[in-house]
């Protein structure tokens, strides 16, 4: 049962754009042992880059094709579309944004959004043609998914210059990116609102850099991860916006408990 839980958590926590970043950063590796049995996290590094050098990395050339297969099944309805608490929280936040900005159709920038699964899970809970959805992902993912989902979702490899979205969605992604605060600032500059969710946050003065390891019976892989100081991430948010709501992502809570972090979400109005 533990293996199944870790597999589902890891798969959900790591969008393809993350793997691409890890491959660029890794050099040598000497992964530390997990902090305790059942934990996916190890080490205490001085920087994201140092953690990356101690990560094996992960490279699955079939990731794009697998995501495209899942996408096709969602579009054709051959695969049941499940809505769990994580998607419900994003749905509620989108409803608040739509109500506040008083627009029939809202534009969403889904940074690290994989095959666009948030859109396909949530679209039926909004009026038809309500969501103008853009996913920013790796070249591999875009090439695989764009031909299938292009009637519903726009797939790009970078945030387009000059376009302002109504809301940016960053779910389970920021903690795996180098220069996370710089990335946060860039994404916030492209939107009026932000949904930042599934973010590991600690009650500490400083961020913590660790390595997240794939259980060995699943795959030999690991990647750097940043556990954010609650005070620091809130200060970074306040430079561009105001936190309107926060929530605990309960379904992710168990995996982060061994490192005394909590998965949280923020709804942010950007200045």
- Tell me what the pLDDT averaged over the chain comes to: 86
Predicted TM-score (pTM) of the model is 0.87
Give the residue-averaged pLDDT of 77-97: 89
pLDDT value of residue 218: 59
Calculate the alpha carbon distances from 65 to 62, 68, 140, 237 in Å: 5, 5, 9, 35
Q: Which CATH superfamily is domain 2-270 in?
A: Vaccinia Virus protein VP39 (3.40.50.150)
Average of pLDDT values for 75-102? 90
**What does the pLDDT average to over 51-56?**
92
Higher pLDDT, residue 22 or 219: 219
| Confidence (pLDDT) at 216 | 65
pLDDT number for residue 39: 81
**Tell me, what's the pLDDT at 23?**
54
pLDDT at 155 over 90: yes
Range 92-102 average pLDDT? 97
User: Residue 161: what pLDDT?
Assistant: 94
HEC per residue, the chain:
CHHHHHHHHHHHHCCHHHHHHHHHHCCCCCCCCCCCCCCCEEEEECCHHHHHHCCCECCCCCHHHHHHHHHHHHHHCCCCCCCCHHHHHHHHHHHHHHHHHCCCCEEEEEECCCCCHHHHHHHHHCCCCCEEEEEECCHHHHHHHHHHHCCCEEEECCCCCCCCEEEEEEECCHHHCCCHHHHHHHHHCCEEEEEEEEEEEECCCCCEEEEEECCCCCCCCEEEEEEEEHHHHHHHHHCCEEEEEEEECHHHHHHHHHHCCEEEEEEEEEC
Higher pLDDT, 241 or 60: 241
2-6, 172-176, 178-182, 207-211: the lowest-pLDDT one: 2-6
Of 216 and 256, the structure prediction assigns the larger pLDDT to: 256
* pLDDT (average), residues 108-130: 94
């Amino acid at each position: 049962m533990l293996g199944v839980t870790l597999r589902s958590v890891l798969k959900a926590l790591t969008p393809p754009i993350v793997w691409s970043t890890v491959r660029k950063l890794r050099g040598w590796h000497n992964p530390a042992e997990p902090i305790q049995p059942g934990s996916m996290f190890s080490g205490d590094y001085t920087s994201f880059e140092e953690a990356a050098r101690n990560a094996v990395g992960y490279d699955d050339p079939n990731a794009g094709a697998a995501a495209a297969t899942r996408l096709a099944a969602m579009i054709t309805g051959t695969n049941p579309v499940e809505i769990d608490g994580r998607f419900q929280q994003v749905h509620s936040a989108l409803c608040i944004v739509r109500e506040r900005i008083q627009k029939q159709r809202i534009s969403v920038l889904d940074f690290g959004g994989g095959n666009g699964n948030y859109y396909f899970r949530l679209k039926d809970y909004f009026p038809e043609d309500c969501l103008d959805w853009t996913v920013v992902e790796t070249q591999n993912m875009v090439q695989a998914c764009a031909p299938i989902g292009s009637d519903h979702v726009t797939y790009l490899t970078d945030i387009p210059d000059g376009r302002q979205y109504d809301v940016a969605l960053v779910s389970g992604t920021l903690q795996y990116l180098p220069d996370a605060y710089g990335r946060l600032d860039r994404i916030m500059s492209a939107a009026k609102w932000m949904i930042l969710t599934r973010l590991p946050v600690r009650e500490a003065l400083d961020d913590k850099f660790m390595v997240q390891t794939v259980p060995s019976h699943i795959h030999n892989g690991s990647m750097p991860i940043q556990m954010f100081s609650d005070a620091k991430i809130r200060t970074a948010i306040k430079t561009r916006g105001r936190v309107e709501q926060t929530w605990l992502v309960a379904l992710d809570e168990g995996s982060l408990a061994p490192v005394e972090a909590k998965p949280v979400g923020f709804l942010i109005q950007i200045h």
